[in-house]
C-alpha cells in the first residue's frame, strides 16, 4: 500500500461527470437529513419554499438558501444545550466538542459524532497522503491541543496512515525544536506564521539551523501563507523542506489540499465536499476559471451539524488546467486568496491583505513579521506598514525600504507609510496571526 499514489485510488481519479453525479446524489441525501432532523434547517428551507424532494439538478442546488456564520452564532446556547436546533442527531450521539477560532467574532460550537470524527480523520488522510506522508514518517505536531479543532484531525489521520505521531502539546517553542532534533522527526504541521516563528527561534535563540534538522515536509493550514509564493519560498528555505498548503474550517471540514506536484493551487476533495463559487456582489454561480468569488461549501457526509451551502466568505477561483498529479478533482488557483470581509477598498482601490504578504516576504533583508494599519486622517485613507529589517541587512536599510515601496506600488497600486521597527519587536503568534488592522470604522473619540 505504501507505494500507492492516491489515498483513495477510486474517488481521486473518477471522471468529473461521475463526481458531479455523486455530489448531486449526496447533496439530496444531506439536505433531506437536515430537513427531517433539525428545526433550524427546516424553517430556512420552508421559508424559501425549498423541499428536499424538489432537488433534481445543480440548478436546484444553487437555489437552496445559504447558511451564514452569524446564523450559527444566533442558535448557540439554546436547546439542546449548547448547540441549538441545527443539531441533527440526539445529544447523546455527540462525541466530540470543538469550536471555531473566533478570528471573526464570537466562536461557534461544533458538535461531531464519533462517525463524524472518523470522517475528519479520513478527510485529512487524503491530504497527508497527497503530500507524501507514509508509515515510515515520524510526524511532530507543534500545536496546543485544545478546543480549537486546528490540527487534531491531522494528528488522527497521521496515525491512521500509520505514521508515528509526536504530540508537541504544551511544550514551548524551544522544547519543540529540541524534540524534533532528538527524535529526528520527518514532518510537521502548523500555521505558516508559527512555522516561520519556530525557524526564527531556532536560528536566533538556539543557534540551530532548522534546514539541517530532519524535517522534509510541512503541512500548513489556518492561514493562506503556504499558497503565497514568497511565503512558501521562505518556509521551504528556512526548513530545507517541501511545504504544502491545506485549507479547511471547523464548521466545514478539511476540504482541500495541495499535492506533491505543487500545482500553484489546492485540490478540492470533491467526492466529499461540494464547492461552489458565487459572485460576491450578485451571488451568480461562477463555473469558469479566472473569476474570483466567495466559496459556498457543503460537507456532503457530515452527521451532527452538517453545513449545507455554508457561505464561507473565503475568496477563491477555479484553475484553468487540471493537476499533473493525475487527480481528477478540481483545482482552485493560488489557494484561498483571502476573506470577502478582509478584502477592502482603500483610497478606492481593492486591497487583499495577502497581496501585501506576497510583497513583504519577497523582499530580501526583511524579517518575516509585519503589520498593516489602515486608518482615516481627515477624509483620506492612510496605510501604515510596519516591518523589521534583519540584523544582516541593517546597513542597507534605505535600500530595503525603497525596494519595498517600489514593489508595493507595483503590486497593490497603493502608497504606504513604511515604518522600520527594531528586530523582533512586532508581535509573534502561535496560531493565527492578526496582522491587518482596519481602524477606519472605529467609534469616534470624544
- The residues of the shown chain that bind Zn ion, judged by CB under 5 A, are 259, 261, 323, 325, 327
185, three cell numbers: 522527526
Q: Which residue has the cell 473518477?
A: 14
User: In this complex, which beta carbon is closest to Zn ion, that of residue 204 or of residue 261?
Assistant: 261
Cα 188 → chain centroid: 16
The three three-digit cell numbers of residue 304, written as one number? 451532527
If the CB atoms of residues 127 and 389 are measured against Zn ion, the closer one turns out to be 127
CB of 327 to Zn ion, least distance (A): 5
Q: How far is the CB of 414 from Zn ion (least distance, A)?
A: 34
Rg (CA), the chain: 22
Our CB check for Zn ion shows the closer of 280 and 325 to be: 325
Nearer to Zn ion, 138 or 327 (CB): 327
State the pairing for strand pair 217-220/187-190. parallel
In this complex, which beta carbon is closest to Zn ion, that of residue 151 or of residue 244?
244
Question: Which burial class, exposed, middle or buried, applies to 288 when counting CB atoms under 10 A from its CB (0-12, 13-18, 19+)?
Answer: exposed
Looking at residue 264, what DSSP letter applies? S
Q: What φ, ψ does residue 293 adopt, rounded to 5°?
A: -160, 180
Residue 384 Cβ vs Zn ion, minimum distance, rounded to whole Å: 39
Is residue 177 within 8 Å of residue 145, measured between CB atoms? no
In the bound state with Zn ion, the residue whose beta carbon lies nearer, of 129 and 148, is 129
The distance of closest approach from Cβ of residue 189 to Zn ion in the complex, given in angstroms and rounded to an integer, is 19
Task: Go through 165-185 and write b for each residue having 16 or more CB atoms within 10 A of its CB, e for each that does not.
Answer: bbebeebebeebbeebbeeeb
Residue 50 near residue 63, CB atoms below 8 Å? yes
Please state the closest distance from residue 187 (CB atom) to Zn ion, in A: 18
d(CA 73, CA 108): 6
CB of 165 to Zn ion, least distance (A): 25
Amino acid at each position: 500500500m505504501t507505494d500507492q499514489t492516491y489515498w483513495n485510488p477510486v474517488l481521486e481519479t473518477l471522471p468529473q461527470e461521475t463526481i458531479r453525479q455523486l455530489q448531486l446524489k449526496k447533496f439530496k441525501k444531506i439536505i433531506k437529513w437536515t430537513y427531517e432532523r433539525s428545526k433550524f434547517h427546516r424553517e430556512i428551507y420552508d421559508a424559501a419554499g425549498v423541499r428536499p424532494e424538489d432537488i433534481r439538478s445543480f440548478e436546484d442546488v444553487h437555489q437552496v438558501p445559504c447558511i451564514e456564520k452569524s446564523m450559527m452564532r444566533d442558535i448557540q446556547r439554546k436547546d439542546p444545550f449548547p448547540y441549538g436546533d441545527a443539531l441533527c442527531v440526539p445529544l447523546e450521539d455527540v462525541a466530540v466538542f470543538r469550536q471555531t477560532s473566533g478570528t471573526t467574532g464570537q466562536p461557534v460550537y461544533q458538535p461531531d459524532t464519533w462517525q463524524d470524527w472518523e470522517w475528519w480523520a479520513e478527510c485529512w488522510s487524503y491530504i497527508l497522503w497527497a503530500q507524501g506522508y507514509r508509515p515510515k514518517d515520524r510526524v511532530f505536531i507543534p500545536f496546543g491541543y485544545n478546543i480549537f479543532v486546528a490540527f487534531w484531525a491531522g494528528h488522527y489521520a497521521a496515525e491512521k496512515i500509520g505514521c508515528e505521531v509526536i504530540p508537541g502539546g504544551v511544550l514551548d517553542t524551544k522544547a519543540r525544536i529540541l524534540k524534533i532534533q532528538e527524535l529526528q522527526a520527518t514532518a510537521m504541521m502548523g500555521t505558516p506564521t508559527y512555522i516561520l516563528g519556530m525557524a526564527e527561534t531556532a536560528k536566533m535563540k538556539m543557534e540551530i539551523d532548522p534546514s539541517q534538522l530532519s524535517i522534509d515536509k510541512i503541512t500548513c493550514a489556518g492561514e493562506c501563507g503556504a499558497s503565497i509564493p514568497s511565503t512558501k519560498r521562505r518556509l521551504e528555505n528556512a526548513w530545507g523542506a517541501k511545504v504544502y498548503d491545506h485549507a479547511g474550517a471547523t464548521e466545514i471540514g478539511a476540504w482541500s489540499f495541495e499535492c506533491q506536484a505543487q500545482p500553484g493551487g489546492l485540490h478540492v476533495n470533491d467526492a466529499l465536499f461540494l464547492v461552489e463559487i458565487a459572485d460576491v456582489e450578485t451571488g451568480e454561480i461562477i463555473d469558469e476559471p479566472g473569476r474570483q468569488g466567495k466559496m459556498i461549501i457543503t460537507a456532503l457526509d457530515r452527521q451532527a451539524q452538517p453545513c449545507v451551502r455554508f457561505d464561507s466568505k473565503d475568496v477563491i477561483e477555479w484553475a484553468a488546467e487540471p493537476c499533473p498529479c493525475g487527480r481528477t478533482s478540481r483545482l482552485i488557483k493560488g489557494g484561498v486568496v483571502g476573506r470577502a470581509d478582509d478584502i477592502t477598498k482603500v483610497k478606492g482601490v481593492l486591497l487583499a491583505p495577502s497581496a501585501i504578504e506576497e510583497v513583504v516576504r519577497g523582499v530580501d533583508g526583511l524579517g518575516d513579521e509585519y503589520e498593516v494599519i489602515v486608518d482615516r486622517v481627515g477624509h483620506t485613507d492612510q496605510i501604515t506598514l510596519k516591518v523589521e529589517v534583519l540584523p544582516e541587512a541593517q546597513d542597507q536599510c534605505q535600500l530595503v525600504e525603497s525596494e519595498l515601496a517600489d514593489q508595493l506600488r507595483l503590486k497593490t497600486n497603493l502608497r504606504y507609510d513604511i515604518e522600520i521597527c527594531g528586530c523582533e519587536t512586532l508581535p509573534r503568534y502561535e496560531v493565527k496571526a492578526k496582522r491587518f488592522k482596519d481602524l477606519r470604522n472605529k467609534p469616534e473619540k470624544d
